[in-house]
């Protein structure tokens, strides 16, 4: 942002042209807690940035710590280098929650939660912060996994870049509720409603190489919790 924006406590956007939701403003959310709830639940984000004068959007994983978003990649990652430039970056996340089937094709839509974040990034130089950020990223993917697997070596850390994106402003949209049909269509003999959607994890498939060749290692606690199995043996 070219200048600091005074906004109510707990609000991240809506008061500038960049973060104001113009399409369906009734489903806009500008509160920090509402926006971050979407960001934290999303397993993947999409990063928009300018590369050689042209727009590029790439998917990656992320993790939020306070008002900072951490991203990582190889040392030669063009996306991370571009994000630290003067243009900054735009990061989006989307959670698909279901199909909304109306009586008319025109009014079909989806249930979803999405967030758009704007900010400028800096390369993380401090080794301790870098290592902590990578641990946070691992925990974002699967809670508890960072304690189960080997930590990065010095060589792996040297080959990895981490950037810290300061979230300067943001907005979210939450689309929920029944179909919005026209009054004249309510009497049509057409089924209308919504079909909820939620991710479903399959059964874990062990890698039978190395120390796991004989299959003696049990599924770790992080995966059991992911599947809702607790201490149940798998």
Structural domains in the chain, CATH included, are 25-180 (2.30.110.10), 204-234 (no CATH)
Distance CA 177, CA 46 (A): 26
Per-residue pLDDT of the chain (234 residues; tens, 9 = 90+): 444 566 777 889 988 998 999 988 899 999 999 999 999 999 999 999 988 889 999 999 999 999 999 999 999 999 999 999 888 999 999 999 999 999 999 999 999 999 999 999 999 999 999 999 999 999 999 999 999 999 999 999 999 999 999 999 999 999 999 999 999 999 999 999 999 999 999 999 998 888 888 878 899 999 999 999 876 655
Burial category of 150 from C-beta neighbours within 10 Å (exposed 0-12, middle 13-18, buried 19 and up): exposed
162-183: b (≥16 Cβ within 10 Å) or e:
bbbbbbbbbbbbbbeeebebee
Three-point CA angle 62, 97, 9, nearest 5°? 55
Distance CA 140, CA 210 (A): 27
């Amino acid at each position: 942002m070219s200048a600091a924006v005074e906004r109510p406590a707990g609000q991240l956007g809506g008061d500038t042209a960049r973060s104001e939701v113009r399409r369906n403003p009734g489903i806009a959310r500008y509160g920090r807690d509402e926006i971050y709830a979407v960001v934290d639940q999303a397993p993947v984000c999409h990063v928009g940035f300018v590369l050689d004068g042209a727009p590029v959007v790439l998917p990656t994983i992320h993790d939020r710590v306070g008002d900072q978003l951490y991203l990582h990649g190889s040392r030669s990652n063009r996306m991370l280098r571009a994000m630290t430039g003067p243009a900054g970056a735009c990061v989006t996340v989307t959670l698909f929650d279901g199909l909304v089937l109306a009586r008319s094709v025109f009014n079909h839509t989806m249930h979803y939660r999405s967030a758009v974040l704007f900010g400028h990034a800096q390369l993380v130089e401090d080794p301790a912060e870098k290592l902590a950020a990578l641990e946070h990223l691992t925990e974002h993917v699967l809670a508890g996994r960072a304690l189960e697997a080997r930590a990065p070596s010095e060589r792996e850390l040297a080959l990895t870049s981490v950037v810290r994106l300061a979230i300067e402003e943001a907005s979210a949209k939450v689309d929920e509720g029944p179909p919005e049909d026209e009054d004249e269509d309510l009497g049509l003999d057409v089924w209308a409603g919504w079909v909820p959607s939620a991710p479903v994890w399959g059964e874990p498939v062990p890698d039978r190489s190395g120390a796991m060749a004989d299959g003696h290692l049990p599924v770790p606690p992080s995966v059991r919790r992911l599947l809702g199995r607790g201490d149940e043996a798998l």
